[in-house]
A and B are shown apart, each in its own frame.
Chain A
């Protein structure tokens, strides 16, 4: 079946450094790629998303890039802060004719002060 691979599963960085999380998807019909942050005991919350007709999007310290040819998208967090510590999930959605959403397995990010 279709899947989304996410790497790394754990990432530890020093406060102020950058963090990069990478995802690869298999369904070429995927056209929406959100990133969610999940804090302990809560449901996931959207932090940034990108659509298939866009290659890059930035929102303050967070950016996402998409390479549709390679079926690859990445999350970049700059100037990391301790409050960025959480689990991050990428996802790929196929909206045409349905609403299938496949999530990556998650990346646990630790930001050390």
Chain B
């Protein structure tokens, strides 16, 4: 089954404790993105990647890091999480920049 998976689905952590949210797709897609979703703000792009070792900032990259060492994986790293990073996070992938993005099920992160 073609899909995007994210782990964990739920995470409660404390300020300053480094964490990684994993994302994997099995569709051989070139493009991958991370978004955060906050009430009243829609989805905001954090980082995107157009291929292995090619990443760039989206609209809200501060406080986040990403890497793309393999085509299928695109982890999101929070080196020192803060409460304002409490949000619902989505990973997505697509074949090209002008094609449907397939979204993962989301990761709900709470930073205390």
Contacts and interface: CB of A to CB of B under 8 A. Distances in A.
Interface of A: 1, 4, 6, 9, 31-32, 34, 42-46, 49, 51, 89, 91, 93-96, 98-106
B105 A43 contact: yes
A104 B41 CA distance: 8
Given A101-B45, A103-B44, A46 B98 contact: no
Nearest to A3: B59
29 contacts: A1-B59, A4-B42, A32-B98, A34-B100, A34-B101, A42-B105, A43-B4, A43-B103, A43-B105, A44-B103, A91-B43, A93-B97, A93-B98, A94-B97, A95-B97, A95-B98, A98-B48, A98-B50, A98-B97, A99-B31, A99-B33, A100-B48, A100-B59, A101-B33, A103-B42, A103-B45, A104-B42, A105-B40, A106-B42
A89 B33 contact: no
A43 to B, nearest CB: 3
A105 B45 CA distance: 13
Interface string B92-110: 1000111011011110000
Nearest to A105: B42
Given A93-B98, A99-B33, A43 B90 contact: yes
Contacts of B79: none
A111 to B, nearest CB: 21
A102 B59 contact: yes
Interface of B: 4, 31, 33, 35, 40-45, 48-50, 56, 58-59, 90, 92, 96-98, 100-101, 103-106
Contacts, number: 69
B106 A43 contact: yes
Given A42-B106, A98-B56, A99-B97, 13 more contacts: A42-B105, A43-B90, A43-B92, A43-B104, A49-B100, A94-B97, A95-B96, A95-B97, A96-B97, A99-B31, A101-B45, A101-B101, A105-B41
A19 to B, nearest CB: 18
